[in-house]
């Protein structure tokens, strides 16, 4: 009898990382008796997935930005649905990428195999009616955050809180120290982590601003250096745009221990809003969240949004742990002032570290591995043979 086939769909780097962890956990839970197909990025491909097409085709952000590439995205949706129907997998797992994933699951409905969505759509933030819509085409939703479940229970959706894999990552101080010595040699000035986003549109919008911030801070802090942990689809853009920066810059690509060591080595960070906030929290790196978007996109989102914060760290804590400087408040002087506070006030930096540690502790269920819990939740849907 053939090993179970799981068709995985990830549409952006954060989903690729989740998908890679899920693949590892599924392999562990089944003793390797499992097969994978689908769409993913470098992390999932490193585990043997042959992506149906480049995941970067789907890495588009914003209501306005997607329009020029809409025809291509719709074509990719049709290709994905056709591939799934042809393969007839034992289960489909869509990962994040909410709009793309919904269109796939709707196109598959009714399906003869379980359809599982990993990372619940943000119904707690805006458009809560999406929960009922998703429930019509998805058999199970796997949730990263504990506060999400009541929204899904209310519409009768089978939803399982599995936790966030970021809670599995342990920072090794020795590895962090080794990374800093190897990458920065004998430099003794502060190290600033700069994270301009995982999409090209985000990098284009934020990196010139972050350069102004960095060079202003360098006037105040002798020996300031920068590390930019980035992902494959924007790495070359970042490298080219930082060639003439007036401070030493280390651009590193990929995920894993090296990336976490670099973040943990930083004295402070500036980051575009997204899942990277949790990466920084897990690394214990005090940081400031920044974000600019197309004004029309922002106007629409502000009209629809239902939450006080955009940073996942602040949302989970239900208070402001890290500064958020968004849109008209996201400019050089405000960002410099916020980062200066973290670089010069040890008490402020430590207060943020303590709060972030508390946030990360909420992202696992009784200390269980979130990826293993997610894998078990998927296997349960296949039937008794693999659960």
Domains of the chain by residue range:
5-164+364-380, 173-361
Q: In this predicted structure, which of 16-20, 96-100, 199-203, 284-288 has the lowest mean pLDDT?
A: 96-100
- At 66 the pLDDT is 59
SS3 184: helix
- At 267 the pLDDT is 96
Please, which residues have CB within 8 angstroms of residue 68's CB and are 6 or more apart in sequence?
A: none
User: pLDDT tier at 257 (50, 70, 90 boundaries)?
Assistant: confident
- At 386 the pLDDT is 39
- At 248 the pLDDT is 94
- At 67 the pLDDT is 63
pTM above 0.95, yes or no: no
DSSP E strand stretches across the chain? 5-10, 35-39, 91-95, 115-118, 140-143, 159-161, 191-195, 225-230, 249-253, 268-272, 287-291, 324-326
Closest alpha carbon to 94 in 105, 109, 79: 105
**Most confidently predicted of 133-137, 272-276, 294-298:** 133-137
Q: Which residue has the higher pLDDT, 310 or 353?
A: 353
- At 293 the pLDDT is 84
- Residue 255: is its pLDDT beyond 80? no
Q: How far apart are CA 118 and CA 140, in angstroms?
A: 9
Q: How many CB atoms lie within 10 A of CB 105?
A: 23
Q: What is the mean pLDDT of residues 207-218?
A: 98
Q: How far apart are CA 128 and CA 135, in angstroms?
A: 12
Q: How far apart are CA 159 and CA 273, in angstroms?
A: 26
Average pLDDT in the chain: 90
- At 374 the pLDDT is 97
- CATH homologous superfamily for the domain 173-361: Glycogen Phosphorylase B; (3.40.50.2000)
- At 387 the pLDDT is 36
Tens of pLDDT along 107-120? 999 999 999 999 99
Q: How far apart are CA 24 and CA 40, in angstroms?
A: 14
**Do 238 and 230 contact (CB within 8 A), yes or no?**
yes
- Residue 350: is its pLDDT beyond 90? yes
Structure tokens at 241: 């745009």
CA separation (Å) from 383 to 90, 113, 234, 268, 377? 10, 11, 41, 47, 11
- Residue 385: is its pLDDT beyond 50? no
Tens of pLDDT along 175-209? 898 898 888 877 789 999 999 998 888 999 999 99
Q: How far apart are CA 37 and CA 89, in angstroms?
A: 9
- Residue 238: is its pLDDT beyond 50? yes
Tens of pLDDT along 44-97? 999 999 999 999 887 654 444 556 677 888 899 999 999 999 999 999 999 988
Q: What is the CATH number of domain 5-164+364-380?
A: 3.40.50.2000
DSSP label at 382? T
User: What are residue 191's phi and psi, to 5 degrees?
Assistant: -110, 125
């Amino acid at each position: 009898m053939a090993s179970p086939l799981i068709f995985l769909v990830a549409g952006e780097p954060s989903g690729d990382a989740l998908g890679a962890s899920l693949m590892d956990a599924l392999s562990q839970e089944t003793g390797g008796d499992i097969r994978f197909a689908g769409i993913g990025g470098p992390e999932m491909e490193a585990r043997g997935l042959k992506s149906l097409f480049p995941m970067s085709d789907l890495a588009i952000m914003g209501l306005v930005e997607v329009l020029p590439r809409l025809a291509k995205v719709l074509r990719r949706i049709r290709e994905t649905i056709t591939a799934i129907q042809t393969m007839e997998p034992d289960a489909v797992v869509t990962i994040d990428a909410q709009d793309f994933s919904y269109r796939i699951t709707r196109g598959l409905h009714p399906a003869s195999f379980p359809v599982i969505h990993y990372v619940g759509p943000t119904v707690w933030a805006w458009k809560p009616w999406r929960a009922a819509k998703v429930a019509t085409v998805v058999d199970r939703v796997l949730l990263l955050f504990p506060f999400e479940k009541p929204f899904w229970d209310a519409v009768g959706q089978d939803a399982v809180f599995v936790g966030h894999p970021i809670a599995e990552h342990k920072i090794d101080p020795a590895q962090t120290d080794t990374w800093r010595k190897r990458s920065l040699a004998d430099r003794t000035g502060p190290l600033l982590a700069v994270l301009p986003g995982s999409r090209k549109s985000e990098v284009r919008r934020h990196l010139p601003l972050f350069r102004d911030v960095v060079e202003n801070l360098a006037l105040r802090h002798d020996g300031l250096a920068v590390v930019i942990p980035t992902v494959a689809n924007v790495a070359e853009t970042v490298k080219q745009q930082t060639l003439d920066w007036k401070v030493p810059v280390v651009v590193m690509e990929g995920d894993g221990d090296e990336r976490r060591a670099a973040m943990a080595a930083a004295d402070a960070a500036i980051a575009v809003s997204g899942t990277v906030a949790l990466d920084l929290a897990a690394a214990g790196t005090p940081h400031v969240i920044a974000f600019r978007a197309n004004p029309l996109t922002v106007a629409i989102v502000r009209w629809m949004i239902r939450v006080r914060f955009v940073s996942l760290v602040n949302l989970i804590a239900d208070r402001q742990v890290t500064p958020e400087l968004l849109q008209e408040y996201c400019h050089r002087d405000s960002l410099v002032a916020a980062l200066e506070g973290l670089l010069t006030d040890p008490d402020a930096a430590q207060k943020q570290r303590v709060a972030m540690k508390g946030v990360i502790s909420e992202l696992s269920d009784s200390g269980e591995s979130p990826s293993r819990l997610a894998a078990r939740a998927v296997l349960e849907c296949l039937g008794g043979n693999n659960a």
